[in-house]
């Protein structure tokens, strides 16, 4: 993996490199074949202007490159959200809070990144602007992927371009959103880190919504320590750090749902990771967590998306990806009383989950139960719709539990060389962010010694 933000910031302080020099390395990576379709709007010229501004070296991001998912407002630019339906939208008048906070911390924005149209999938496919191929940040190109146009693998979504931009070294931080796993899924499939904070901690103002209940503004990075920096900037808060070793954490693996249907690579990596952690003194219980099976049957994304999209669908519905439009339009069928019941059912379910999780500091699960499938299997086309939706459901299954829980979670790579990327998800309920981050930092340090 390329040097992370922490290491590069240290080199800047020592005079071993400069922000403009690092930006040129990122631009070179962004223009390489591995980033084909990653950026829908490169901002290289403005980034070069930013990187030479005085005073950046004193700021947390020190002029280093950050990419921004296409659903966040950037002043002076339209916000298409991966769609052509918003091609005529007026430019934003100001940066959204997430972008403004990154800029204030010294970020150089290298470009807007590709995404699933309106963030409505965990796969990463976009029929309008192409789909970037997944890239293994730890060990280089995926087998048969970026080297070979005939065999790319899906990057994960919906923050597809953000994930690939970080994995390939084009950005140190990839600003994205996570409604059902859209940060953690690309992180898992690209061998990087993705942290979904408790949703209320970062404003989502100025971002095209998928679900106003579940949307979370957050980021992907090259390491857990970088994830802490990114979160502190985006949430405008300090993470309470703990030096406690992993042996002092109460950890659990929920067997219900999360371990179902794992493919051989994920199962091998996950079990090896648990064995490694136990060998360092960690105590990891296996629990049933039966409340996972009792999730409310209906979701928030479709009705809340339809409320936002209904006028746009009338004007430009023919421009939508059919897979996206079909799911948004299903939201029109939910009655008001059913939505109110859904809100209540969610709160009752959260209470049951917390009662079963409370004695643990963090839970461990595979981020997704499968490795990235070939893009050709799920590319746009009605004849591949069944496989697309099967893959999409699998990719979202584990991660979406945390969003419904109003929780926080971090995905970090746990594969070894010769394996396709696999993510380990460390998670818990609302406002357990600092514990999840501290535990993840300990786990990352242990796994890096493998």
**How many Cβ atoms from other residues are within 10 Å of residue 284's Cβ?**
17
CB atoms within 10 A of CB 410: 32
3-state secondary structure of 28: helix
Q: Is 255 a catalytic residue?
A: no
**Cα 205 to Cα 74, 90, 208, 258, distances in angstroms:** 12, 17, 8, 32
Handedness of CA 147, 151, 155, 160 (dihedral sign): positive
Distance of CA 189 to the CA centre of its chain: 10
Residue (of 169, 61, 67) closest to 112 by Cα position: 67
C-alpha distances (whole Å) from 24 to each of 68, 180, 310, 359, 448 are 18, 34, 43, 48, 28
> Is 67 assigned a catalytic role?
no
Residue 37 half-sphere exposure, CB side, CA atoms within 13 Å? 22
User: DSSP label at 374?
Assistant: B
Helix, strand, coil shares of the chain, percent, nearest 5, are 45, 15, 45
Write down the residue that tokens 């300090």 correspond to: 238
Strands (E), 225-282: 250-254
Backbone phi and psi for residue 39, each to the nearest 5 degrees, phi listed first = -110, 130
Catalytic annotation, pick one of 38, 67, 69, 211: 69
Q: Distance between CA 291 and CA 272 in Å, rounded? A: 27
Q: What is the separation, in whole angstroms, between the first and last Cα of the chain?
A: 15
Task: Please identify which residue in the block is written with the tokens 């405008």.
Answer: 236
Distance of CA 98 to the CA centre of its chain: 15
Active site residue 182: yes
Annotated catalytic residue within 83, 160, 177, 182:
182
Considering the candidates 38, 83, 121, 158, report the single residue annotated as catalytic: 158
Helix axes 433-447, 264-279, angle to 10 degrees: 90
Give the strand order in the sheet containing 283-287.
39-42, 108-113, 65-69, 173-177, 217-221, 193-196, 408-413, 423-428, 362-366, 250-254, 283-287
Catalytic residues: 69, 158, 182
């Amino acid at each position: 993996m390329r040097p992370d933000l922490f290491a590069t910031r240290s080199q800047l302080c020592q005079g071993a490199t400069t922000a403009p020099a690092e930006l040129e390395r990122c631009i070179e990576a962004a223009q390489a074949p591995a980033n084909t379709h990653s950026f829908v709007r490169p901002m290289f010229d403005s980034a070069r202007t930013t990187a030479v501004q005085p005073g950046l070296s004193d700021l947390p991001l020190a002029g280093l490159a950050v990419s921004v998912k296409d659903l966040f407002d950037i002043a002076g630019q339209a916000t298409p959200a991966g769609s052509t339906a918003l091609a005529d939208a007026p430019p934003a008048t100001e940066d959204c809070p997430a972008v403004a906070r990154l800029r204030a911390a010294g970020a150089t924005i290298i470009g807007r990144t590709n995404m699933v149209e309106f963030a409505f999938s965990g796969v990463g496919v976009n029929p309008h602007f192409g789909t970037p191929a997944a890239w293994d940040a730890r060990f280089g190109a995926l087998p048969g992927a970026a080297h070979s146009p005939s065999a790319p693998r899906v990057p994960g979504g919906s923050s597809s371009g953000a994930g690939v931009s970080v994995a390939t070294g084009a950005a140190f931080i990839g600003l994205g959103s996570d409604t059902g796993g859209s940060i953690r899924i690309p992180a898992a499939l690209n061998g990087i880190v993705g942290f979904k904070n408790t949703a209320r901690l970062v404003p989502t103002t100025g971002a095209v919504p998928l679900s106003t209940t579940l949307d979370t503004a957050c980021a992907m990075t090259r390491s857990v320590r970088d994830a802490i920096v990114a979160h502190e900037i985006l949430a405008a808060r300090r993470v309470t750090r703990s030096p406690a070793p992993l042996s002092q954490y109460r950890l659990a693996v929920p067997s219900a749902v999360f371990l179902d249907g794992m493919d051989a690579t994920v199962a091998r990596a996950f079990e090896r990771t648990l064995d490694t952690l136990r060998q360092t003194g960690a105590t990891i219980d296996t629990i049933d967590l039966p409340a996972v099976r009792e999730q409310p049957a209906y979701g928030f994304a479709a009705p809340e998306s339809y409320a936002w999209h209904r006028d746009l669908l009338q004007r430009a519905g023919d421009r939508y990806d059919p897979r996206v439009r079909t799911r948004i339009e299903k939201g029109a069928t939910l009655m008001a009383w059913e939505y109110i019941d859904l809100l209540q059912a969610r709160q009752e379910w959260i209470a049951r989950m917390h009662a079963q999780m409370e004695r643990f500091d963090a839970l461990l699960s595979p981020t997704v139960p499968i490795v990235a499938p070939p893009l050709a299997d799920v590319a746009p086309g009605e004849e591949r719709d069944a496989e697309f939706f099967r893959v999409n459901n699998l990719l979202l299954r584990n991660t979406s539990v945390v969003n419904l829980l109003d929780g926080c979670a971090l995905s970090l790579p746990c594969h070894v060389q010769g394996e396709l990327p696999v993510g380990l998800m460390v998670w818990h309920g609302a406002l357990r962010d600092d514990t999840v981050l501290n535990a993840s930092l300990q786990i990352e340090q242990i796994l890096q010694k493998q």
